[in-house]
Amino acid sequence: MPLFLPVLECFAMPSRTVLCNFGILQRSLSSAPAFPLASIAMFVIIGAFVGRAMCGWACPLGFFQDILMSVTRFLRLQRKRLSQKLHYALTSMKYMILFATLAIVISVGATYLVGKLLGEKYAFSLGVCGRAPYCLICPVPVLFATIPSLVSTWFLGTPFPSLPFTFYIGFFATIFLLASSLITKRFWCVYICPLGALMSFFNKFSLLHIRKKLEKCSPICRGRQRSCDKACPMGIQVFRSPEPSSSPECILCYNCAESCLNKAVKYKFG
């Protein structure tokens, strides 16, 4: 039986051990046969225990962006760090995408439910745009399912299958992901992902925290001033916060703790 977790693990991927709970939530709300209690409960349970840690440790798309980050370091490509003003302005995008996604699927589900109560037949005329609008722009199915399948088809010498129009939307989103991740750290996670926006609401209340021992935190950091800030892929000002994980952007990746020469940053549970 597959687990449905708050990570971008698409239905189209070969592995069915883990399924994207956000995709399940979208489809449940848009079809409206019943309230998606199990899906919401999974968000609450995981969020209450570990906050947004799944973004840092279990999401395939986050892992792929970390690989791209390592490639840029290896090639010594210079990445840009956005100004704090622009960074804070762009972080609101993922919340707008989350709101728009939920507004679409709830309105489609309400229409389906009203039609069913009135005894009228209802068809999903919007297709995937109505059932799961974020899945239309999500790079995961293209990156981990469609492109590997096309590459294997090319190697085997078999003709390419006809691709739906929705593939090209996802393909351009994937190109955007690649370009943006080479420019700045985890661009998709920080500014685009509505699943990250949803899980961010649990950061302040989760049992897992990242806290600093203020008596050990040095403003000079032994010659590497604010190294914890530089190590954070989400653009958090770790240096200024006694509890970095209270930020909705924190993915509890622990990079700040590993970069701290004074060992002032630690995981805390409870």
What domain count does the chain have?
A: 2
- Say if residue 136 is in the same domain as residue 238: no
C-alpha–C-alpha distance, residues 140 and 14, integer Å: 12
- What are the tens digits of pLDDT across the range 11-37? 777 666 778 889 889 988 887 666 788
Model-level pTM?
0.88
The two structure tokens encoding residue 146: 């469609």
Residue 121: predicted pLDDT: 64
- Say if residue 192 is in the same domain as residue 213: no
DSSP-assigned letter for residue 225: T
pLDDT confidence of 94, banded at 50, 70, 90?
Answer: very high
C-alpha–C-alpha distance, residues 186 and 214, integer Å: 28
CB atoms under 10 Å from CB of 131, counted, come to: 21
| Long-range contacts, stretch 174-180, CB < 8 angstroms, 24+ apart | 174/139, 174/142, 174/143, 174/147, 177/61, 177/65, 177/139, 177/143, 178/68
Which residue, of 185, 201, 217, is where some domain finishes?
201
Which residue, of 184, 201, 218, is where some domain finishes?
201
C-alpha–C-alpha distance, residues 254 and 240, integer Å: 16
DSSP-assigned letter for residue 200: G
212 φ/ψ angles, rounded to the nearest 5 degrees? -110, 145
Looking only at Cα atoms, what is the longest distance across the chain?
72
Residue 60's domain comprises 3-201
- What are the tens digits of pLDDT across the range 164-222? 788 889 999 999 999 998 888 899 999 999 999 999 999 988 999 998 887 788 766 65
Residue 157: predicted pLDDT: 72
- Say if residue 101 is in the same domain as residue 39: yes
Report how far apart, in Å, the C-alpha atoms of 20 and of each of 9, 60, 92, 233, 263 are: 5, 11, 23, 23, 35
- Say if residue 8 is in the same domain as residue 132: yes
Report how far apart, in Å, the C-alpha atoms of 25 and of each of 38, 105, 168, 206, 217 are: 9, 9, 24, 21, 42
Which residue, of 171, 201, 231, is where some domain finishes?
201
Among the listed residues 218, 210, 215, 223, the one whose alpha carbon sits nearest the alpha carbon of residue 256: 210
- Say if residue 149 is in the same domain as residue 251: no
- What are the tens digits of pLDDT across the range 247-263? 999 999 989 888 888 88
- Say if residue 243 is in the same domain as residue 180: no
- Say if residue 55 is in the same domain as residue 10: yes
If 0-12 CB within 10 Å is exposed, 13-18 middle and 19+ buried, where does residue 194 land?
A: buried
